[in-house]
Chains A and B, each alone.
Chain A
Amino acid sequence: MSVRGTHDRPFGLFWLALGLAIAFESWRMPRLEEQGINPYTIPGLVPGLLGLILGIFGVVLFFRRAPMAEGVALEGNDGGVAEPWRVALAFLLCVGFGVGALGHGPPFWLGAGLFLFLAIILFEYPDHKAAGTLRYGIIRAALVGAIGAAAITLIFQEIFLVRLP
């Protein structure tokens, strides 16, 4: 579910701060005078302008009275209900796999297999527990994890000749 309209003020401040920071850093950027470049081509010109525009938009967002009318539904927002524990678990697993596991020791196939197994079983745990099918769920998750990791490793490494992390 989307949470919209009620957080415009803090976001307005955030965009203002980010915009000003970008503009300030662009201002500090070298003008390359020693290279004799045309002053209209200084590297900080466009990012500086973008920073100022972002800051102005932040101010408008902060001060505007009410959000605009809601229209087209967000992509992917198709009726699902976000649950905090699921969101937290998704973060933990994805960041853990992407930052923690990759390139830090375990081979890719093992990391991917473990990630798939844990993601599937943990997200399906409440349903399997309620239905009394936990053993089936564990076996299925392990199979999907093993087959999925093996297939991805094989396809990328042997067919697409990609070196895996």
Chain B
Amino acid sequence: MFEGLALLGQSMLTFAEPRALVYTFGATLLGILIGCMPGLSATLAISLLTTLTIRLPAGDAILILICAYVGTIYGGSRSAILLNIPGTAANAAACLDGYQLAKRGEAGRAMGIATTGSVAGSLFGIVCLAILTPALGEVALTFQSYEFFWLALFGVMMSGSITGSDPLKGWIMGILGLFVALIGQDGIHAHERFAYGDPNLAGGLSLIPTLVGAFGCAEVLTVMGERFKQARVYAVDSILPRISDVLKYWKTVLRSGVIGVYIGILPGVGEDMAAWSSYAAAKRASKNPEEFGHGSVEGLIAAETGDNASIPGGIIPALALAIPGSAPAAVLLAAMMIHGVKPGPMLMIENPSFVYDVVAMNVYATLGILFFGLFLVRPLLKILTVPRSIIMPIIFVLCVVGSFSIAQRLFDVWTMLGVGVAVFFLRRYGYHPAPFVLGLVLGDLMDKSLRRGLVISDGDLTPFFTRPISAVLAVIVIFTLVMSIPAANIAIRRAVLGIFRRRAA
């Protein structure tokens, strides 16, 4: 424990020098600005910045990405409160009460509450990140290929089940992502799969251009294809949070923090679900549930605490297991790998200081959102007045340059465009891109784990179902699949209700 504290102290000092502070505040500000702009997601921000920071040292690059991630999720609350349009999907829950407060002339108060909730959620998540990552890493040391196979599949299935509105379509996207990840040389025998002699395909579809396509190009096409009404930005009163607002709802902050971290840890389930779950739990536990949706301070605190707590939550499995907790965490994981960091169970043994570096980066990012949230509110609101007809073409040029900059080949630009066009169409028919991203990141792990597991067991499938953790994960995956079949779902629910009724009688 003391060793961990010493490492954390060292990491905090590492990033307390001028260059790192410039990166911290610059990236957090950039993240907030991106988050403010409806349509630009945290995944897009991290994907684009990964391409920009590719030549920086690993520590600096990951610091920038984490600060941008935290800033984007926080910044999305601005447009949620002032325009009733969530800047990112994670801030949709904040619209319900934030916008109502703004309509009452309390936009500043709402933003102060959002800042406080975000900071509290981030700090709670950071504590969990510091404590749970080493613990989970230690447990994961006992994992073999069987567990990693199920974890990868579990991540994709969970993401498919929860992130969209239709689990079946989510799973299809997840399977598609897993398949696309397998194009190119396989990880065991270096045999070219689905390349058909094309040297570009033989190297596989590059991860970052594919991600930029799925979240950047598709988003640009979506927004450019839509007509938007001129939004009305409400006047802003004092943005300083009232201490009474925070202290009064400490239980809500704590509960939302726990929910946010828990949902963050679940593979593939993102900040939006954390915000909605925290909001729903706060409403259930509130003495004034009727105020929710009509300008409830408690509701806004719950939503903003939940989504920000899930950021460090999503990083926990990414570091300890190399299984990302959300789509932005998947891109962050990919960026870490590009920069030579190897997340996974061996991280705490090979590079223990890195975990505490990430904790420190989160702390500095939180300080960044606190600073900008309290002192730079009005100038930041100017971004809301920039028309999207100007922003989106610029974002597209950045998508093109970013995709090209990874390997300086036009094939990556075409990959980005192809994936972007495909995801644009699929989204219109209810196919969410988040499971696709999870599949893309986890495809290689799942492929190698299944084949290695089969080699170790000499083709025997029983270890996949009999080892304790494998068994639990297998049951969850199979149960999730079965519950999605309407007839089976109804039959199981009836059976469970019947058991409860018999017990009650």
Contacts and interface: CB of A to CB of B under 8 A. Distances in A.
Interface of A: 2-5, 7, 11, 15, 22, 25-26, 29-30, 32, 35, 37-41, 43-47, 50-51, 53-54, 57-58, 60-61, 64-65, 67-83, 86-87, 89-91, 93-95, 97-99, 102-103, 108, 112, 115-116, 119-120, 123-124, 144, 148-149, 152, 156, 160-165
A162 B396 contact: no
A68 B165 contact: yes
- Rank and list the top 8 A-B pairs by shortest CB-CB distance, nearest first: A80-B226, A40-B454, A87-B225, A119-B393, A4-B430, A90-B224, A162-B405, A75-B89
B379 to A, nearest CB: 20
Interface stretch (B130-138, B252-260, B357-365, B445-453): B445-453
A79 B189 CA distance: 49
B261 interface: no
B273 A103 contact: no
B432 A161 contact: no
Interface centre among B39, B169, B225, B413 (most CB of A within 10 A): B225
A43 B400 contact: no
A118 to B, nearest CB: 9
A123 B389 contact: yes
Contacts of B452: 41
A57 B172 CA distance: 7
A152 B429 contact: no
Nearest to A51: B179
Given A11-B429, A98-B417, A69 B165 contact: yes
Contact of B167 (A38, A45, A54, A68): A68
B168 A57 contact: yes
Contact of B397 (A57, A68, A86, A112): A112
A66 to B, nearest CB: 9
Contact of A74 (B223, B398, B421, B427): B427
Contact of B421 (A29, A91, A123, A124): A91
B401 A40 contact: no
B428 interface: yes
B194 interface: yes
B417 A45 contact: no
Contact of B393 (A91, A102, A116): A116
Interface centre among A80, A97, A149 (most CB of B within 10 A): A80
Contacts of A64: 168, 486
B402 to A, nearest CB: 9
A90 B400 CA distance: 15
A54 B227 contact: no
Interface residues on B, range: 35 or more
Contacts of A102: 400, 404, 410, 413
A15 B86 CA distance: 32
Contacts of B52: 160
Contacts of A30: 191
Nearest to A155: B52
B414 A57 contact: no
A149 B394 CA distance: 9
Given A2-B429, A72-B272, A46 B450 contact: yes
Given A61-B169, A72-B272, A99-B414, 12 more contacts: A29-B191, A54-B172, A54-B179, A68-B166, A72-B163, A74-B164, A75-B219, A76-B89, A87-B225, A102-B400, A102-B404, A162-B405
Nearest to B222: A76
Given A91-B421, A144-B390, A32 B191 contact: yes
B171 A57 contact: yes
Contact of B172 (A15, A47, A73, A89): A15
B172 A5 contact: no
B447 A80 contact: no
Nearest to B39: A76
A121 to B, nearest CB: 9
A5 B182 CA distance: 30
Contacts of A82: 222, 225-226, 428
A57 B170 CA distance: 11
B501 to A, nearest CB: 26
17 contacts: A43-B193, A45-B451, A54-B176, A61-B169, A72-B92, A72-B163, A75-B272, A76-B219, A79-B228, A86-B224, A94-B420, A99-B413, A108-B401, A120-B390, A123-B224, A156-B405, A160-B55
